[in-house]
């Protein structure tokens, strides 16, 4: 039995989560603290992947990342490779697709921390970045855990966007959900069972673990 789809899925989900944390944390911070009028606009934009069918998202990404698209053509010029039907293209697509799942828990957590501890930290001589690292982030730990888990799980479970942008190239873009789809289509139900049950157990275990940790986490702000 071929286990590479599992590894590709895990690698894709891990890298996507890392990218989302790097890009998403400053954005979530900005959304939580800004008074700017553009906030509602950005929030709506971030939430789009929640409501759009994956095919719509996949369609636009395909156009954007394809060799004729703005980003895609630039990439071809730069590296000679296409973004579509590559692992990197998948990472970009997954990041867009899972964006709200990372941003929203972080934003909620930063809003819950509020301005009070940040002001206290500033009056104790901590710079804004110091305050972010040593005060805001530990207090928003639950938000980080939720963001990581939700984005990871959501990326593992994606299908439509991956199929449209990444296709089904064994060893490159064939992730677990696509492998299952293929197995069902080719009527190899026993293999589909392995992957499906595996994914089910894995997802449940992770979520169960997170909820348990969340409950026990020392910070219980009221």
Partner 1 sequence: MSTLSLHIKLDLDHFGLRISEDILLDGITVLFGPSGAGKTTILRIIAGLENRATGSVTLDDTRWQNDKAKYFLPPHKRQIGYVFQDGRLFMHLTIAKNLQFAAQRASSNTLTVDAVATALDLMPLMHRNPESLSSGEKQRVAIGRALLRDPSLLLMDEPLSSLDTKRKAEIIPYIERLPSDFGIPILYVTHNVEEVTRLASHIVILSKGRVVANGGALEVLERTDLMPLAGHLETSAFLQARATEHRNGMTTLNIGGQSLRVPGTTITTDTHLRLRIQARDVALATRAPEGLSIRNILRAKIISIDVVDEIFAEILLNVGGQPLLARITDEAVNDLKLTVGQEIYALIKSVAIDTGLIS
Residues that bind partner 1 (CB under 8 A): 116-117, 119-128, 130-131, 134-135, 138-139, 141, 218-221
Minimum distance from CB of 145 to partner 1 (Å)? Answer: 14
Judged by beta carbon, residue 54 or residue 143, the one nearer partner 1 is 143
Judged by beta carbon, residue 115 or residue 193, the one nearer partner 1 is 115
Minimum distance from CB of 213 to partner 1 (Å)? Answer: 15
Minimum distance from CB of 25 to partner 1 (Å)? Answer: 18
CA 139, CA 61: separation in Å to the nearest integer? 36
SS (H, E, C) 15-30: HHHHHHHHHHHHHHHH
Tokens encoding 188: 């190899």
Judged by beta carbon, residue 185 or residue 222, the one nearer partner 1 is 222
CA 125, CA 123: separation in Å to the nearest integer? 5
Minimum distance from CB of 150 to partner 1 (Å)? Answer: 22
Instruction: Please report, for residues 100, 104, 153, 180, the alpha-carbon distance to residue 148 in angstroms, rounded to integers and kept in the order given.
Output: 12, 11, 8, 24
Judged by beta carbon, residue 114 or residue 157, the one nearer partner 1 is 114
CB–CB of 50/100 below 8 Å?
yes
DSSP at 115? S
Judged by beta carbon, residue 117 or residue 157, the one nearer partner 1 is 117
CB–CB of 146/15 below 8 Å?
no
CA 65, CA 173: separation in Å to the nearest integer? 15
CA 191, CA 199: separation in Å to the nearest integer? 12
Judged by beta carbon, residue 34 or residue 70, the one nearer partner 1 is 34
CA 148, CA 206: separation in Å to the nearest integer? 11
Minimum distance from CB of 9 to partner 1 (Å)? Answer: 34
Minimum distance from CB of 178 to partner 1 (Å)? Answer: 42
């Amino acid at each position: 039995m071929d286990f590479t789809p599992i590894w590709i899925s895990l690698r894709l989900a891990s890298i996507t989560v890392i990218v989302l944390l790097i890009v998403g944390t400053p954005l979530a911070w900005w959304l939580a603290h800004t008074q700017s009028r553009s906030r509602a606009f950005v929030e709506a934009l971030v939430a789009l992947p929640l409501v759009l069918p994956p095919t719509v998202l996949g369609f636009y990404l395909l156009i954007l990342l394809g060799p004729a698209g703005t980003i895609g053509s630039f990439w071809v010029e730069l590296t000679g490779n296409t973004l579509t039907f590559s692992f990197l293209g998948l990472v970009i697509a997954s990041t867009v697709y899972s964006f709200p799942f990372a941003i929203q828990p972080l934003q909620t957590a930063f809003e819950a921390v509020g301005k009070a501890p940040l002001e206290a930290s500033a009056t104790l001589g901590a710079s804004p970045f110091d305050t972010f690292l040593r005060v805001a982030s530990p207090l928003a730990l639950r938000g980080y855990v939720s963001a990581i888990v939700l984005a990871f799980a959501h990326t593992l479970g994606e299908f439509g966007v991956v199929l449209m942008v990444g296709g089904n190239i064994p060893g490159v873009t064939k992730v677990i959900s696509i492998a299952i789809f293929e197995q069902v289509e080719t009527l190899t139900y026993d293999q589909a069972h392995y992957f499906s049950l595996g994914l089910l157990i894995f997802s449940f275990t992770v979520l169960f673990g997170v909820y348990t940790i969340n409950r026990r986490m020392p910070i219980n702000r009221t």
